[in-house]
Amino acid sequence: MGAATQTKPRRRSMGKLWRRRIGLGLTYLTLATLSVIFLIPLLWLFTSSLMPLSQIGKWPPQWIPNPVQWGNYTKALKFWHFGRSFRNTTIITVFSMIGELTSCTLVAYGFARLRFPGRDTLFIVLLSTMMLPFAVRMVPMYIGFSKLGWINTFLPLIVPTFFGNPFYVFLLRQFFLTIPDELVDAARIDGASEFNIWARIILPLSGPAIIVVAIFSFQAAWNDFIGPLLYLNDERLHTLALGLYTFTAMPGQGSLYNQLMAASVLMVLPMLIVFAIFQRYFVQGVTLSGLKG
Amino acid sequence: MTFIATPQTKDHVRWRDMSAARRKEAILGYLFISPWLLGFLMFVLGPFIASFYLSFTTYSILQPGKWVGLQNYTRALSREPLFWKSLGNTAYYVIGAVPLRIILGFILALLLNVQVRGLTLWRTLFYVPSITPLVATTVLWLYLLNPKFGLINYALSLLHISPVPWLTSPKWSKPALILMSVWWVGGNMVIFLAGLQGIPQHLYEAAELDGANALRRLWHITIPMMTPTIYFNLVINIINTFQVFVQAFIMTDGGPLNSTRFYMLYLYDNAFRFFKMGYASALAWILFLIILALTILLVKTSNRWVFYGG
């Protein structure tokens, strides 16, 4: 009797344990299969960027470049005017990052730490502008910038970044609110100006949030396609993204998949490196964007 | 408005009731937010009003144009078959892509939420496609979707499915772009995962004691607790997929036979290829009203299925 009552629950828990194990095994199997499916396109991107053209059109698709043709890269750099496009993209990206980091931290400090009439209403206005489709602003902004004579300059891509970005302001404000009041109050009692508090206390304590915004800002500027497409018609001002598009649209060139893949690798690689270094922050940023829900 | 973390201090103190110090603080506050305030006036509100005005004119960058009343709107709705075609294409894309992206993102997050080892690694693997620059991704997918030697048709051939003409066929071009959009589901996954990790563990423990199996726990705890996150992702995904542009612009330029002429593509063509900026502004306003209506519809219906108990 005693033995039976002891073994019964034990057997049940053994069964449960096995069910758990099988469940976990199936989870790993599904995850592994799905991740292979997700990563194969990227793997193919890298291998085909080193293949001779004759190998690209083969059926079944080839996986190992034979012979390895590094020349694809040198050719891609040439048609792409890589030096020039890279310089243009870098200029736009660096200035956008400076603009967004400066303006968004200032604005977020105002919303998080200072009291003024209409603050909460204005903050809701700021949040709701995130939902506004870009299409509505696109045409008038183009007309405005062309009236200023800014078409075929980097200004339409850079200047607006100095006027804040609602999403980044939101992220930074959330973070600034978590900094203890005592620190700010103590500094105020010591006679520090608000600008000093922003520069000496808030910014140094907000490293993670600032990195998140810096990464997002980098990603947006580096990957931007519509902006350069609208404002940069002069080929000498083309960015990497725009140059890659022009290449696909060129008759004849568009089918040189190996060179196109080489160019794409060069475009993807900086993002992958930044992601590898800061992946934790990427995830934090995306997670925070979900907080709005 | 649950999402706004409210600071302890209230802002609605009237100006004349303020002390000198509070006034100074308020002035500084406006100064700090002035970059955004100016940017809002110049790059959001200004263009918004201008666009509304332009939508009643025949403005083009080449000539000033004249006031035509509602003509641009009536023209779009009654005399431009391509307007309805592009709207239909966009609806097809939204209805195809959004549920897939939500469901797959949710499933991936669920899988990662079962105490798996190497969570960060898995998460990274699924998120990597989402960080690749859109133009490069598009170029890669042109190759993947190639009907003769693309990898996707090869994978199908392994399953004994005959080759699909993808981007060269009006029937398959939209499914091809939907398939591609599923590849960057990582953002949705990350947001869902954060939501899942916020569900209190004791709910599951209690349910387990009551003998609820995994499926029941999913249906009665996880999904109800996740409805706010699902709702958020739904709104964001609808707004974003409605404005699909770059992929179609680069891969098909609206073809074949206008089967991928999405709304934004149609708008762009009118504004920047034909310079009919008045007409394009009317199109932009119609898009805005559609998105606004969809958002309001979601907000209004949300109280029926979104659970804000947690």
Asked if the model's pLDDT at residue A2 lies above 60, the reply is no
The reply to whether residue A140 touches residue B140, judged by beta carbons under 8 angstroms, is no
A110 vs B contacts (CB less than 8 Å): 28-33
CA distance A49 to B84: 40
For residue A12, the model assigns a pLDDT of 57
Q: Which two tokens stand for residue A232?
A: 């940069």
Query: How remote is the C-alpha of B23 from its chain's centroid?
Result: 41
CB-CB: which of A143, A264, A271 is closest to B139? A264
CB-CB: which of A34, A129, A291 is closest to B44? A129
CB-CB: which of A119, A124, A225 is closest to B246? A225
Q: Which residues pair with B63 in a beta bridge?
A: B60
CB-CB: which of A60, A139, A244 is closest to B136? A244
CA distance A293 to B8: 21
Phi/psi for B7 (5° steps) reads -70, 160
Q: How many helices (H) and strands (E) does chain A have?
A: 15, 0
Instruction: Say if residues B129 and A41 touch (Cβ distance below 8 Å).
Output: yes
Q: Which two tokens stand for residue B193?
A: 């995962």
For residue B62, the model assigns a pLDDT of 79
The reply to whether residue A31 touches residue B112, judged by beta carbons under 8 angstroms, is yes
Band (pLDDT 50/70/90 cuts) for residue A293 is very low
Tell me which of A136, A275, A283 to substitute to probe the interface with B (most B C-beta atoms closer than 10 Å): A136
Give the model confidence (pLDDT) of A196-251 as tens digits.
999 999 999 998 899 989 999 999 999 999 999 999 999 999 999 999 998 888 77
For residue B214, the model assigns a pLDDT of 83
Instruction: Say if residues A105 and A172 touch (Cβ distance below 8 Å).
Output: yes
Band (pLDDT 50/70/90 cuts) for residue A4 is very low
Q: A67: cis peptide before it, omega within 30°?
A: yes
Tell me which of A33, A115, A250 to substitute to probe the interface with B (most B C-beta atoms closer than 10 Å): A115
Instruction: Say if residues B176 and B170 touch (Cβ distance below 8 Å).
Output: no
Instruction: Say if residues A103 and A111 touch (Cβ distance below 8 Å).
Output: no
Give the count of beta carbons closer than 10 Å to the beta carbon of residue A37.
11
CA distances (Å), origin B242, targets B236, B263, B294? 10, 8, 11
The reply to whether residue A275 touches residue B131, judged by beta carbons under 8 angstroms, is yes
Instruction: Answer whether B50 touches A (CB < 8 Å).
Output: yes
Give the model confidence (pLDDT) of A236-281 as tens digits.
999 999 999 988 887 777 778 899 999 999 999 988 998 888 888 8
Tell me which of B30, B32, B141, B281 to substitute to probe the interface with A (most A C-beta atoms closer than 10 Å): B32
Give me the residue label for tokens 């800002």: A217
Give the model confidence (pLDDT) of A88-114 as tens digits.
999 999 999 999 999 999 999 999 999
- Please say whether the dihedral angle defined by the alpha carbons of residues A38, A27, B195 and B178, taken in this order, is positive or negative: positive
A58 vs B contacts (CB less than 8 Å): 149
The reply to whether residue A116 touches residue B264, judged by beta carbons under 8 angstroms, is no
- What residue of B is the nearest CA neighbor of A42? B129
B124 vs A contacts (CB less than 8 Å): 279
Instruction: Answer whether B105 touches A (CB < 8 Å).
Output: no
CA distance A28 to A23: 9
Average pLDDT over residues B219-246: 92
Q: Which residues pair with B60 in a beta bridge?
A: B63
DSSP-based three-state secondary structure for B63: strand
Instruction: Answer whether B305 touches A (CB < 8 Å).
Output: no
B59 vs A contacts (CB less than 8 Å): 143
Q: Which domains does chain B have, with CATH numbers?
A: 15-54 (no CATH), 74-305 (1.10.3720.10)
Q: Which two tokens stand for residue A134?
A: 């870009």
Instruction: Answer whether A128 touches B (CB < 8 Å).
Output: no
Tell me which of B23, B58, B115, B139 to substitute to probe the interface with A (most A C-beta atoms closer than 10 Å): B139
Tell me which of A28, A114, A129 to substitute to probe the interface with B (most B C-beta atoms closer than 10 Å): A114
DSSP-based three-state secondary structure for A284: helix
Average pLDDT over residues B116-135: 89
List, in sequence order, every beta strand (DSSP E) within A107-247: none
For residue B10, the model assigns a pLDDT of 53
DSSP-based three-state secondary structure for A278: helix
CA distance B60 to A238: 25
CB-CB: which of A41, A58, A122 is closest to B144? A41
Give the model confidence (pLDDT) of B63-91 as tens digits.
888 999 999 999 999 999 999 999 999 99
Largest CA distance in chain B: 79
For residue B6, the model assigns a pLDDT of 47
Band (pLDDT 50/70/90 cuts) for residue B1 is very low
Q: How many helices (H) and strands (E) does chain B have?
A: 15, 0
Instruction: Say if residues B36 and A126 touch (Cβ distance below 8 Å).
Output: yes
Asked if the model's pLDDT at residue A6 lies above 60, the reply is no
CB-CB: which of A60, A260, A293 is closest to B154? A60
Q: For residue A35, give every residue at least 6 positions away whose Cβ sits within 8 Å of its Cβ, in sequence order, or none.
A: B122, B125, B126
Cα Rg for chain B, rounded, in angstroms? Answer: 24
- What residue of A is the nearest CA neighbor of B291? A133
CB-CB: which of B22, B129, B187 is closest to A286? B187
DSSP 8-class letter at B166: G
Here the ipTM equals 0.88
CA distance B113 to B123: 11
Q: Cα(first)–Cα(last) distance of chain A, in Å?
A: 56
